[in-house]
Amino acid sequence: MPSARPGTRPLALVTGASGGIGEALARRAAADGHDLVLVARSRPRLDQLAAELAGGGSDAEVLAADLQTDDGVADVVARLRSTDDRPVDVLVNNAGFGSVGDFAELPADILAGEVALNVMALMLLTRAALPGMLDRRQGGILNVASLASFLPGPGMANYSATKAFVLSLTEAIREETVGSGVRITALCPGFTRTGFQGRAGVRTGGLTGPAWQSAEQVAAAGWAGFRRGDDVIVPGALNKISAVTVRFSPRPLVRKISAAAIRRLH
Ligand SMILES: NC(=O)c1ccc[n+]([C@@H]2O[C@H](COP(=O)([O-])OP(=O)(O)OC[C@H]3O[C@@H](n4cnc5c(N)ncnc54)[C@H](OP(=O)(O)O)[C@@H]3O)[C@@H](O)[C@H]2O)c1
């Protein structure tokens, strides 16, 4: 549905807006004067958030879609390409999940679903949104990658590989579109307390407090960095140190440390 006030406020489409980092990013965007298109599978939670945001003055459309399915992706692609509806100024590709366990033992359909959501849906939504943004010479895409994007993750091999794709794609597109007026940013959170750990079935007690951030902390850093036009945002001092350390450490050592950290989640 077109907004009652077309053109008066920028419009942000956030995937995975029904909880965790996506919900916190949607709230940030609303507080920053954006209207929203909220995407996830859980329509009741999206309806509830839309009503709350409306109370704060943001117009929010709900688009319930399963981005692991072709139909779900097609619905969101259609919204991004639509010339009848208000154009989407900001795309936040946030929906994602992580599988935990040895690659040889994880069910193939879970691994394929992880690639479908974290990689294929993100790529197709980015491809659908970008040409219009380039034509309008404004807007931007915020892709949620991970600290896992920087290193292989034994025990979360498939997840880490999907997030390496997200970071690589985002950085490359940013370079392709330099000077276009369109902002392209990757957000790389570390351990963040959300529904992610429950869905992944991980044990979180093995990691100490300072390693963890809240979804609100991650969203605050992510949205501020995106608005500034940052290329890659790593929220939190410890995470920043980890990302830099990984870059300058020998790869065999990085693999061993990564494996040890992930084993504590099993
Ligand atoms: N939490 C962390 O420690 C952490 C660290 C680094 C990166 N990240 C990344 O941050 C992003 C958000 O994760 P989170 O921590 O906020 O996890 P979360 O609390 O589990 O939220 C995931 C969101 O994605 C949506 N989603 C899941 N499957 C979907 C599907 N098939 N179709 C459409 N939407 C789907 C969920 O909504 P529905 O269930 O309603 O569909 C939910 O809104 C992910 O890309 C994740 O990889 C998380």
Question: What percentage of the chain reaches a pLDDT higher than 90?
Answer: 88
Residue nearest to atom 34 of ligand 1 (CA): 40
pLDDT at 205: 65
Mean pLDDT score, 5-19: 87
Residue nearest to atom 8 of ligand 1 (CA): 146
Quickly state the pLDDT bin for 3 (edges 50, 70, 90). very low
Q: Among candidates 58, 90, 60, which has minimal Cα distance to 187? A: 90
Exposure pattern of 189-227 as b/e (b: 16+ CB <10 Å)? bbbbebebbeebebeeeeeeeeeebebebbbbbbbebbb
pLDDT tens track for 189-240: 999 999 999 888 887 665 667 779 999 999 999 999 999 999 999 999 999 9
pLDDT at 244: 96
**CA 23 – ligand 1 centroid, Å:** 10
Mean pLDDT score, 240-266: 92
pTM of full prediction above 0.85: yes
pLDDT tens track for 149-175: 999 999 999 999 999 999 999 999 999
Q: Among candidates 211, 105, 219, 95, which has minimal Cα distance to 156? A: 105
Q: 110 - beta bridge partners?
A: none
Q: What are phi and psi of 57, to 5 degrees?
A: 100, 5
pLDDT tens track for 100-146: 999 999 999 999 999 999 999 999 999 999 999 999 999 999 999 99
Task: Give the number of the atom of ligand 1 that is nearest the alpha carbon of residue 197.
Answer: 1
Of 14, 15, 21, 71, the residue with max ligand 1 atoms within 8 A of its CB, to mutate for a pocket test, comes to 21
pLDDT at 146: 98
Residues having CB within 6 Å of any atom of ligand 1 = 15-22, 40-42, 66-68, 94-98, 117, 144, 146, 189, 191-192, 194-196, 199, 215
pLDDT at 246: 94
pLDDT at 52: 98
pLDDT at 58: 97
Could you tell me the domains of the chain?
A: 11-263 (3.40.50.720)
pLDDT at 207: 62
pLDDT at 2: 38
pLDDT at 208: 62
Catalytic residue chosen out of the listed positions 159, 191, 196, 223: 159
**CA 45 – ligand 1 centroid, Å:** 14
- Mean predicted lDDT score pLDDT of the chain: 94
**CA 162 – ligand 1 centroid, Å:** 13
Clarify whether 159 is annotated catalytic: yes
The SS3 call for residue 152 is coil
> Dihedral (C-alpha) 15, 242, 213, 209: value to the nearest 10 degrees?
150
Question: What percentage of the chain reaches a pLDDT higher than 70?
Answer: 95
Mean pLDDT score, 40-49: 98
Task: Give the number of the atom of ligand 1 that is nearest the alpha carbon of residue 69.
Answer: 31
Distance between CA atoms of 138 and 131, rounded to whole angstroms?
Answer: 11
Give 1 or 212, the one with higher predicted confidence.
Answer: 212
Distance between CA atoms of 95 and 152, rounded to whole angstroms?
Answer: 21
**CA 260 – ligand 1 centroid, Å:** 24
